[in-house]
Amino acid sequence: MPISSKRIIEAIRAFKGPFTHADLLSRIGAGKAGREHKKTRRPAKKSDREQPRIEETLRELTGAGFLVKRGKSYTRAESFSPEGVITVDGRGVGTLKTDSGDVLSVKKDNTGNAHSGDRVRAELDDCRGGTCYARITAVSRRRKERYIARVETRLKDYIVFRLVDLPGGVQVRGARSSNEPRKGELCIIHLTG
């Protein structure tokens, strides 16, 4: 199975200082050393198959500003912490426009609790085919804090709401109280997290 760029990024995060292409290859290959492989007539060298993928990922990460190349060694950029405004479409997929003008894609599972128009901080998650993907780590500032929501269901400890004025059918929950809406009613809620 080929190495994914996500696994390469995780291996790079484990390095504390400068590293070379060979260091990265040995770090990635170390996890598979204990496995037994089916014997074939002429086994292909794993390093030969994986080198183009690693080289391509290193080029993309250097271009994105995540890595700094000095000669044959690479170092993680200290100041690489994408921050900007996220735009979320109806499917829940996001696009992060950073302060430096870069555009990073954000998968639906990695948007966290960010909504369209929020100012967020992120970390690099994956790089494939010239597109870099980010994972939202924190919401710095909400564009909007009050939303119209419909009560979906009332459970023992909390109420589940579906935001009406936000694309993607986002569900949120709130604590139950003595004065609470009934199922199906519209209400205005204040998001804090």
**137 and 156 share a domain?**
no
Buried/exposed 56-79: b ≥16 CB within 10 Å, e otherwise: bbbebbeebbbbeeeeeebebeee
Query: Can you tell me the mean pLDDT for 153-166?
Result: 87
Residue that finishes a domain, picked among 76, 102, 133:
76
Indicate whether 65 and 112 sit together in one domain: no
105 in the same domain as 49: no
Pair 164, 123 in one domain? no
Domain enclosing residue 172, as ranges: 146-190
Whether residues 14 and 70 fall in one domain? yes
Within this chain, do residues 98 and 111 fall inside the same structural domain, yes or no? yes
Q: What is the pLDDT of residues 130-141, one digit of tens each?
A: 888 999 998 888
* Domain count across the chain: 3
Residue 74's identity, in one-letter code, is: Y
Token pair for residue 68? 């700094």
User: 136 and 155 share a domain?
Assistant: no
Q: Does the pLDDT of residue 190 top 70, yes or no?
A: yes
Residues in Cβ contact with 78 at an 8 Å cutoff, skipping those fewer than 6 apart: none
pLDDT tens sequence across 22-49: 888 888 875 454 444 555 555 555 556 6
180 with 117, same domain: the answer is no
Whether pTM > 0.75 for this model: the answer is: no
Of 44, 76, 108, the residue at which a domain comes to its end is: 76
pLDDT in tens, 68-111: 899 889 988 876 778 999 998 888 889 999 888 888 999 988 98
Query: Do 30 and 87 sit in the same domain of this protein?
Result: no
Query: How high is the pLDDT of residue 136?
Result: 92
CATH, residue 122: 2.40.50.140
Question: Does 65 score more than 50 pLDDT?
Answer: yes
Give the Å distances, CA to CA, from 17 to 6, 22, 138: 20, 14, 26
Indicate whether 33 and 56 sit together in one domain. yes
Residues 104 and 154 in one domain: no
